[in-house]
Amino acid sequence: MTDSPDDGDRDWFGTGEPTEASGIVGEYMTLRRGAEADVLAMQMGDFYEFFGEDAELVGEELDLKVSQRSSGGESYSMAGVPVDDLAPYLKALVERGYRVAVADQHPVDDGHERRVDRVVTPGTLLDPTGDDAQYLATLVRDGDTVGLAFLDVTTGRFHATAISGPDAEARALTECYRFAPTEVLPGPDARTDEALVERLRERSDARLTLHDAEAFAPGRARHILGEQFGDGATESVGLDTDAAVRAAGAALGYVAETGAGALASVSRLRTYVPDDHVALDATTQRNLELTEPMTGNGRSLFAVLDHTETSAGRRLLREWLGRPRRDRAELERRQGAVAALAADAMARDAVRETLDGTYDLERLASRTASGSAGPDALLRVRETLAALPALVETVEGSPRLADSAVADRFADLDREGARKVREELAAALTDDPPNSLTAGGLVRPEYDDDLAELVGRHDEAAEWIDTLAEREQREHDLTHLSVGRNRTDGYYIQVGKSEADDVPDHYEAIKTLKNSERFVTDELAEREREIMRLEEERGDLEAGVFRELRSWVGERADLLQAVGRAFAELDTLCSLAEHAVRNDWTRPELTDDDVLDLRAARHPVVEQSVEFVPNDLQLDRDRRFLLVTGPNMSGKSTYMRQAALVTLLAQVGSFVPAREARVGLVDGVYTRVGALDELAGGRSTFMVEMQELSNILHNATEDSLVVLDEVGRGTATHDGISIAWAATEWLSSAQATAPSPKVLFATHYHELTMLADHIDTVENVHVAADEQDGDVTFLRTVRDGAADRSYGIHVAELAGVPDPVVERSREVLRRLRDEEAIDVRGSEDEVTGESKQVVFDLGSGQFRGQASADGGEGETVDPVTESVLEELQGVDVEDTSPVELLSQVQEWQRRLDD
Ligand code: ADP
Ligand code: MG
């Protein structure tokens, strides 16, 4: 037998049998196919081996040594890890998205057999590395209803829902994005829909697993749900559609089939209504940088806001930010708690300090229930539960907290049950247990009568040995005598060289050292055997007691999860309070009125790094659509995002960065950034921009908030203006075909600002900039009205561009606007002295040559062109609506084309 993974001649069977490599590879492939795994780890004696492509893959991913073998003329790759080291490799592979099967070797009558006992997948890993939730998602389509279930085996969280209606699929995908699952199982009718599968792939990094279609059958799903939660459970939690039942059942069935014991922690299923959440699609989440920054050096809202003390708190804060709510009662409950925690700094500090010493109880509960928790995990459960009375005391000791939702949250917990678990653990486990279950010293002797007796006998034997040296010294008159123990010699009596010849006859010499001699006696050997026997018995007994204790605690997983959840919530609320206090945020008034009224509001992330100039913002029934103009870099994007972020923060239950805020609850926030402004790169084509715009035009309701940042910029000027124009009309209900959401629209298409004169609900605001001592200053102050449109030329002047150039720019600009002919200076004809003239053609977005005024040489004008030109010159631009203008230009173009 060898113990080095590099050694070529492994005894694969642990039995000394000869190996048959090609047969082995065949067996490997068969097992691998049967398990539908990406990778198979197959036990062969003391190693788990990978063959062929799998070996190459683990070699690459995990830096394992790959060797080449050949057998019967065929060559193949092979890599392996010692049996005891598999766990970390397995985890690393699964966290990279692979589905890994493990085939263990089992003894049978005539040798051994191998079978796949467990499959570890990205959605069912019990002890992932990070703190993030790890959801397994199932998605079932049933007519026009989509059933969804999300299960996190690491915490036992399990949610299911059904979405129906014409846009059910889009909403389901949004839900999927929100939960950010690590693995998705599309049901039989979802997976055949290539477009759907494609969109699932696009929207997440999740692994798509095509699980057995049978598992999605309603009967089977209902059965497994009944087994897990009891008969009638589906009705009692309100799972009333087949689609939701099928999704939930399939998720459970899948976890059961992977064989990792992860189901034990799933004690409750919650149904939820997605409509209770603010619609927040993937692009919006990304644009607003809620949990991830768009660029490497940016900071997400989450990163700025996070002052949590625990990993469960961090997980929950992230979850809250990703799913703002519409339920005013719940939000006000959270606000009340944040307010109380913000007001009582002493209590808040005490709470945070206590939480700092706690562990992730939700995850510990899962590991306990699945039987994978070791002694240190149960100690952590004990320590964390010990924080409960301390927290209750703090809460009750603070009049503010005692009167808030925080106190209610703790009142709902089964504190008596938690106390029992903690006391049981305290009574059973020693304070510094060994990591091995059988090493002894894990369980307190007084906890178990048999153990107490065993330990008593062990102590007696140990005492006999402890006092042996003294007795022997006295009896045999040997001063240099001691008793010791080591691995090879066991217990021995050691006597110094000078006295070695004086030992009694019954001393049996076993070893000679430089200055001493070692002996044993029959009696000592007898005692040694007894001690060994007792130690072994004790180890077995303690391990048994521990396992029993662990399953007793595991049966209370839902209690532990509830306490863990309450701690996480408290941590999250404290974090929000802490941030509010440090940054002078206020409690927003939440209302069902259709308003967004912010006084002296700031951008929560930008205010961290610059001296921020606060701004007001008002949107209501009559003022629903703000066209935001202003020079580049003046703060348009920041102003609009800050409105979206304040709204979202308010709907998380947080305080907000403003002096005063009144926030009408929205059903969705949609943001889009024009392709040119899109930083994310890669995807930023005009096509994507338009797809996203289309999505908003379809989905935004009158209760939504829409932020459009330079939309339409990714194409030729006049296409862009036209699209932006029409979208504005549509979203402001000027076309009366759709209810109008609240909209903020930043645009550099100045032409749009005139819409404010014609559509009642559209208003212009601009970010002011000013000139002081020859420098351009961005005031960052938002004012009513449109920006000065010749601002760019103004900047050129300030920058010292020569006067004639500035003057000429003004002239060209005026002519461009009025679509007058512009003479091209420097093109003067040598003979006539006339210059060429061009007109900026609104239709094509290009300059077009034009005859000089007197129709001079070289330029003959046909009658059609002449008539068009005449009409063009006759148009009073101020008095013609842009739409009319557009259609007129189209008409001219048609005539010129003919
Ligand atoms: P725009 O969209 O008009 O080009 P941005 O919103 O991107 O401008 O803002 C440009 C820069 O100005 C940002 O980097 C931001 O830090 C800063 N800024 C924006 N608004 C403010 C403000 N109200 N107070 C202070 N700095 C601001
Ligand atoms: Mg911008």
Whole-number Å distance between alpha carbons of 653 and 331: 5
- Which ligand is located closest to the Cα atom of residue 616? 1
651 CA to centre of ligand 2 in angstroms: 25
* Pair 754, 651 in one domain: yes
- Kindly report the CATH number assigned to the domain that includes residue 452: 1.10.1420.10
757 CA to centre of ligand 2 in angstroms: 24
Neighbours of 604 (CB within 10 A): 24
* Pair 656, 787 in one domain: yes
288 part of a folded domain = no
Helix (H/G/I), strand (E/B), else coil: 163: strand
pLDDT at 819: 64
Nearest ligand 1 atom to alpha carbon 611 = 25
pLDDT at 727: 81
* Pair 687, 563 in one domain: no
129 part of a folded domain = no
Checking if the pLDDT of 16 tops 90, the result is: no
* Pair 499, 603 in one domain: no
The arrangement of strands across the sheet holding 481-486 comes to 481-486, 490-496, 516-520, 508-512
Q: From the CB of 676, is ligand 1 less than 6 Å away?
A: no
Q: From the CB of 613, is ligand 1 less than 6 Å away?
A: yes
Which structure tokens are listed for 98?
């692979």
pLDDT at 853: 44
Count: domains in the chain: 7
746 CA to centre of ligand 2 in angstroms: 8
Name the residue with the closest Cα to ligand 1, atom 17: 635
Which structure tokens are listed for 342?
């913000």
* Pair 563, 528 in one domain: no
Name the residue with the closest Cα to ligand 1, atom 16: 606
Give CA 694 to chain center in angstroms: 27
* Pair 722, 818 in one domain: no
Q: From the CB of 679, is ligand 1 less than 6 Å away?
A: no
CB 695 within 8 A of CB 671: no
* Pair 328, 410 in one domain: yes
Nearest ligand 1 atom to alpha carbon 778 = 12
104 CA to centre of ligand 2 in angstroms: 59
- Kindly report the CATH number assigned to the domain that includes residue 100: 3.40.1170.10
Nearest ligand 1 atom to alpha carbon 781 = 23
638 CA to centre of ligand 2 in angstroms: 7
- Kindly report the CATH number assigned to the domain that includes residue 156: 3.30.420.110
Checking if the pLDDT of 590 tops 90, the result is: yes
Q: What's the chain's Rg over C-alpha atoms?
A: 38
Which structure tokens are listed for 217?
């059958």
pLDDT at 683: 47
* Pair 564, 547 in one domain: no
Q: From the CB of 747, is ligand 1 less than 6 Å away?
A: no
Which of 60, 89, 120 terminates a domain? The answer is 120
Name the residue with the closest Cα to ligand 1, atom 10: 633
DSSP 8-state symbol, 788: P
Helix (H/G/I), strand (E/B), else coil: 340: helix
Checking if the pLDDT of 18 tops 50, the result is: no
Comparing CA positions, the residue from 297, 317, 299 lying closest to residue 307 is 317
Name the residue with the closest Cα to ligand 1, atom 4: 633
**Domain encompassing residue 569:** 296-433+557-583
End-to-end CA, the chain: 92
- Across the range 389-399, mean pLDDT stands at 94
Which structure tokens are listed for 823?
């003479």
* Pair 307, 370 in one domain: yes
pLDDT at 677: 47
- Kindly report the CATH number assigned to the domain that includes residue 702: 3.40.50.300
Scanning 204-310, the segments in alpha helix (DSSP H) are 218-229, 233-236, 242-258, 282-287, 301-305
Whole-number Å distance between alpha carbons of 615 and 636: 11
- Across the range 599-625, mean pLDDT stands at 94
Checking if the pLDDT of 675 tops 60, the result is: no
Whole-number Å distance between alpha carbons of 306 and 644: 19
286 part of a folded domain = no
Checking if the pLDDT of 680 tops 70, the result is: no
At 688-725, the pLDDT tens digits run 777 778 778 877 888 999 999 887 766 666 677 777 88
Neighbours of 797 (CB within 10 A): 19
Q: From the CB of 249, is ligand 1 less than 6 Å away?
A: no
* Pair 471, 534 in one domain: yes
* Pair 643, 780 in one domain: yes
Give the residue, 261 or 671, on which the prediction is more confident.
671
Q: From the CB of 642, is ligand 1 less than 6 Å away?
A: no
Comparing CA positions, the residue from 160, 100, 681, 586 lying closest to residue 342 is 586
Comparing CA positions, the residue from 818, 793, 819, 816 lying closest to residue 806 is 793
Checking if the pLDDT of 685 tops 60, the result is: yes
279 part of a folded domain = no
- Across the range 727-743, mean pLDDT stands at 74
Whole-number Å distance between alpha carbons of 140 and 744: 37
Name the residue with the closest Cα to ligand 1, atom 6: 635
CB 119 within 8 A of CB 259: yes
* Pair 525, 637 in one domain: no
- Please, which pLDDT band fits residue 582 given cuts at 50, 70 and 90? very high
DSSP 8-state symbol, 261: S
Whole-number Å distance between alpha carbons of 685 and 331: 38
Q: From the CB of 610, is ligand 1 less than 6 Å away?
A: yes
- Which ligand is located closest to the Cα atom of residue 608? 1
744 CA to centre of ligand 2 in angstroms: 12
Comparing CA positions, the residue from 34, 344, 69 lying closest to residue 212 is 34
H or E stretch covering 798 = helix 791-798
Nearest ligand 1 atom to alpha carbon 614 = 23
Please report, for residues 58, 301, 315, 606, 692, the alpha-carbon distance to residue 291 in angstroms, rounded to integers and kept in the order given.
32, 6, 11, 15, 21
Scanning 429-498, the segments in alpha helix (DSSP H) are 449-466, 468-476
Indicate the average pLDDT of the chain: 85
Please report, for residues 208, 424, 490, the alpha-carbon distance to residue 454 in angstroms, rounded to integers and kept in the order given.
54, 21, 21
Checking if the pLDDT of 844 tops 70, the result is: no
Least confident among 68-77, 343-352, 478-487: 68-77
101 part of a folded domain = yes
Cα angle 232, 237, 239; round to 5: 85
Which structure tokens are listed for 39?
């990778």
Which of 274, 306, 324 terminates a domain? The answer is 274
Name the residue with the closest Cα to ligand 1, atom 19: 635
CB 185 within 8 A of CB 173: no
At 289-314, the pLDDT tens digits run 998 888 778 899 999 999 999 999 99
- Which ligand is located closest to the Cα atom of residue 628? 1
789 CA to centre of ligand 1 in angstroms: 19
Taking CB atoms within 8 Å and a gap of at least 24, the contacts of 12-16 are 12/44, 12/45, 12/47, 12/49, 13/44, 13/45, 13/105, 13/111, 13/112, 14/45, 14/46, 14/105, 14/112, 15/111, 15/112
Percent of the chain residues topping a pLDDT of 90: 49
366 part of a folded domain = yes
- Please, which pLDDT band fits residue 254 given cuts at 50, 70 and 90? very high
Q: pTM (2 decimals)?
A: 0.79
Ligand 1 site-directed mutation target among 636, 638, 708, most atoms within 8 Å of CB: 638
* Residue whose entry in the numeric block shows the structure tokens 């961090």: 314
- Across the range 629-658, mean pLDDT stands at 93
Q: From the CB of 632, is ligand 1 less than 6 Å away?
A: yes
Comparing CA positions, the residue from 18, 240, 39 lying closest to residue 121 is 39
- Which ligand is located closest to the Cα atom of residue 635? 1
Checking if the pLDDT of 849 tops 70, the result is: no
885 part of a folded domain = yes
Q: Which amino acid, 181? A: P
342 CA to centre of ligand 1 in angstroms: 30
Ligand 1 site-directed mutation target among 295, 599, 609, 610, most atoms within 8 Å of CB: 610
At 149-201, the pLDDT tens digits run 999 999 989 999 999 887 788 888 888 888 889 999 999 888 888 888 888 88
312 part of a folded domain = yes
If you write DSSP's letter for every residue of 652-676 in order, what string do you get? TT--BSSSEEEEE--SEEEEEE-TT
pLDDT at 734: 55
